[in-house]
Amino acid sequence: MKVIPMRDYPQDVADNFLSGISFVREMRLNDPSQFDVLMQRTQFVELSPGETIINAGEMDSRYFFLLKGQLSVYPDSEHRTRELNKITPGQSFGALSIICHKPRTATVAITPGCIGALLIAIDLRDLGELLDFSVFTLGTKLSLYRTVVNNTRWQLEVYKMDYPTHPLTQKSKEVELYIGKKMTEQELQSLERQILQLTALITEWNTELAPKEADVQDRGANI
């Protein structure tokens, strides 16, 4: 794994990648000072074949955006016989556990056969308490939390299409929706509640889709 500070990456290439990330692009357009705060906490990460970027059970404060390559999501670091899903360029991941102050719920590694991957990692350890705006402003937190909620709801829609009759599919319809005034602390508080609910659902899905011990033993016997 190679980590490259933003300042050490060719500026024109970095700008091109950053322009493709809506959350970052929004900061650059609407609040240049907050964009600078983000860039001070941003790095490029290059993965080689066989490398892992996230391990289930670990604490980590980095929020990732995949730029090139393909990643696979597994229930843990031990059993990589079944993918929960794939991450493709343009997708982001890793914010749920940061916002919820919980260990990573899954393992993410470069997909077997993929020759490499390039990511952007933003360190969010300075998020602080929900209504602490000493580092990240209300606008920045709202943009971040909306992005996380939308991305997670999209993942649940994928599960819904794959498992339309599963009880967890019905449960996803119970997640809170905010209908109040935008750009307020009340919206941010609602987004946090949604993230907590969505994280619980994703964790349940990961557990449900993980290979059972009997399945692992059966596969091993057939090798």
Residue 13 has pLDDT above 60, yes or no: yes
Two tokens at 1? 């794994």
Confidence at 217, pLDDT banded by 50, 70, 90: very low
Average pLDDT over residues 179-208: 94
pLDDT tens, position by position, 33-87: 999 999 999 999 999 999 999 999 999 999 999 999 999 998 887 767 678 889 9
Looking at residue 73, its amino acid is V
Q: Where are the alpha helices (DSSP H) in 114-223?
A: 138-162, 167-171, 185-209, 213-221
Rounded Cα distance, 103 and 85, in Å:
19
The reported pTM is 0.87
**pLDDT for 220 beyond 60:** no
Helices (H), 1-74: 11-18, 22-30, 32-39
- Band of pLDDT at residue 138, cut at 50, 70 and 90: very high
What's the CA gap between 176 and 172, in Å, rounded? 9
The residues with which 195 forms a beta bridge, in sequence order, are none
Structural domains of the chain, with CATH: 2-212 (2.60.120.10)
Report phi then psi at 25, rounded to 5: -60, -40
Contacts of 7 (CB under 8 A, 6+ apart): none
In angstroms, the CA 108 to CA 128 distance is: 25
3-state class percentages of the chain: helix first, strand second, coil last, to nearest 5: 45, 20, 35
Report which of 108, 127, 128, 118 is spatially closest to residue 54, judged by C-alpha positions: 108
Average pLDDT over residues 19-44: 93
Confidence band of 121 (pLDDT split at 50, 70, 90): very high
Letter string b/e over residues 91-100, b meaning 16 or more CB atoms within 10 A of that residue's CB: ebbbbbbbbb
What percentage of residues in the chain have a pLDDT greater than 90? 76
Q: Where does the pLDDT of residue 222 fall: very low under 50, low under 70, confident under 90, or very high at 90 and above?
A: very low
Out of 79-83, 128-132, 146-150, 217-221, which region has the weakest mean confidence (pLDDT)? 217-221
With a cut of 50, say whether residue 135 has pLDDT above it: yes
The model's confidence at residue 212, banded by pLDDT at 50, 70 and 90, is: low
- pLDDT at residue number 214: 41
What integer pLDDT is reported at residue 207 of this predicted model?
Answer: 83
Q: What are phi and psi of 9, to 5 degrees?
A: -95, 145
Do the strands 107-110 and 71-74 form a parallel or antiparallel pair, or are they unpaired? antiparallel
